[in-house]
């Protein structure tokens, strides 16, 4: 059974506890997930931009649109309508 001196010490002992509460852990988890989602979004957007710039570079170099059917290309490789 708890004595009077033990009950007086209880709040002081609780204030000196070490570690994180469940709420603190949940908040840090949500912040980490939001940061991860932002990083993945930036990576996906950047890789899409690089692919687009590569396709533009290919069109400028060859004059042929990638994925254009062969029926729309002239013998010189240029596209025709």
* Position 9 pLDDT exceeds 70: no
Confidence of residue 81 (pLDDT cuts 50, 70, 90): very low
- The C-alpha atoms of residue 7 and residue 12 are separated, in whole angstroms, by 10
Helices of type H across the chain: 4-15, 22-62
3-state SS class at 73? strand
As beta bridge partners, residue 73 has 79
pLDDT in tens, 24-69: 999 999 999 999 999 999 999 999 999 889 888 888 887 766 666 6
Confidence of residue 21 (pLDDT cuts 50, 70, 90): very high
Query: Which residue shows structure tokens 């400028």?
Result: 60
Tell me what the mean pLDDT of segment 16-23 comes to.
85
- For 19, list phi and psi in degrees, rounded to 5: 110, 180
């Amino acid at each position: 059974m708890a004595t009077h001196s033990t009950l007086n010490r209880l709040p002081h002992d609780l204030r000196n506890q070490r570690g994180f509460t469940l709420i603190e852990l949940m908040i840090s988890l949500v912040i980490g997930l939001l940061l991860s989602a932002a990083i993945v979004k930036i990576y996906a957007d950047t890789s899409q931009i690089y692919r687009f710039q590569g396709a533009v570079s290919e069109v400028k170099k060859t004059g042929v649109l990638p994925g254009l059917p062969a029926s729309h290309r002239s013998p010189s490789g240029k596209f025709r309508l």
